[in-house]
């Protein structure tokens, strides 16, 4: 039952992330001006803060397979829970995209999917680096119990920061689940290039986990 509650929490968190943050990206026409970029970056960071203090004590509020992979590598969760988390995250993201699509007026055809306008290789590199930065922040913020009261703010702020740059590069994924839901329902080019937003963030997460092990060792909490 305890594991089931964790999976449900991860489903809810990822659902909210896609529904609200991708929703803001769509309705603000993210990328048309600096204001829309800032609004979207703050939406993604704000959702993480809200979810961290809502479900953090239940599941740790990963709501991102890249974060879960880094935690697994550092021994902070079992393989069984990792699989359960990832399934819940992908399911939550898909449900969030479906509800967002149902809520949006017909004039909106996008759901916040990412793009490879830079090209495949530059997009992979950008996603790997931005994810590495973000995951390192997550590992650092959650490494000590005394940080728990501010960890959500640090993680949300870090996600906002990587979005401020990443939106101009790929639309910012750093989260394979967040990218999957919108890409699946948009289809076409968004779905065809989805693999970039799976591979890039997961590679970045592995690098971050290994860097964390090398630089700091295992913290008090994974």
Examine the pLDDT at 96 and tell me if it is beyond 70: yes
Stronger pLDDT, 144 or 66, i.e. the higher one: 66
CA quadruple 14, 19, 24, 29: dihedral positive or negative? positive
Domains of the chain are: 2-215 (1.20.1080.10)
Tokens of 97: 């995209």
Question: Tens of pLDDT along 9-54?
Answer: 999 999 999 999 999 999 999 988 999 999 999 999 999 999 999 9
pTM: 0.93
Q: What pLDDT was estimated at residue 196?
A: 98
| Tokens, residue 37 | 């970029």
Q: What is the pLDDT of residue 149?
A: 80
% of residues, the chain, pLDDT over 70: 96
pLDDT class for 217, splitting at 50, 70, 90?
Answer: low
Q: What is the pLDDT of residues 127-163, one digit of tens each?
A: 999 999 999 999 999 888 877 788 889 999 999 999 9
Q: What is the pLDDT of residue 147?
A: 75
Q: Give the DSSP per-residue string, the chain.
A: -HHHHHHHHHHHHHHHIIIIIIHHHHHTTTTSSHHHHHHHHHHHHHHHHHHHHHHHHHH----SHHHHHHHHHTTSS-HHHHHHHHHHHHHHHHHHHHHHHHHS-TT----S----TT-HHHHHHHHHHHHHHHHHHHHHHTSSGGGHHHHHHHHHHHHHHHHHHHHHHTS--S-HHHHHHHHHHH-HHHHHTTTHHHHHHHHHHHHHHHHHHHHT---S--
């Amino acid at each position: 039952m305890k594991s089931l509650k964790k999976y449900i929490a991860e489903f809810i968190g990822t659902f909210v992330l896609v529904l609200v943050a991708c929703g803001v990206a769509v309705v603000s026409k993210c990328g048309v001006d600096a204001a829309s970029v800032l609004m979207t970056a703050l939406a993604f960071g704000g959702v993480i803060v809200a979810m961290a203090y809502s479900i953090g004590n239940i599941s740790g509020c990963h709501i991102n397979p890249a974060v879960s992979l880094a935690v697994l590598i550092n021994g902070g969760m079992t393989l069984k829970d990792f699989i359960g988390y990832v399934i819940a995250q992908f399911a939550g993201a898909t449900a969030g995209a479906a509800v967002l699509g149902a809520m949006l007026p017909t004039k909106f055809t996008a759901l916040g999917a990412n793009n490879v306008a830079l090209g495949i290789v530059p997009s992979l590199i950008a996603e790997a680096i931005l994810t590495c930065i973000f995951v390192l922040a997550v590992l650092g913020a959650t490494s000590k119990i005394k940080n728990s009261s501010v960890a959500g703010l640090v993680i949300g702020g870090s996600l906002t920061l990587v979005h401020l740059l990443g939106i101009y590069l790929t639309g910012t994924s750093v989260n394979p689940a967040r990218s999957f839901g919108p890409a699946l329902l948009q289809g076409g080019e968004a779905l065809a290039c989805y693999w970039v937003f799976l591979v890039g963030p997961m590679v970045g997460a592995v690098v971050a986990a290994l860097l964390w092990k090398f630089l700091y060792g295992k913290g008090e909490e994974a």
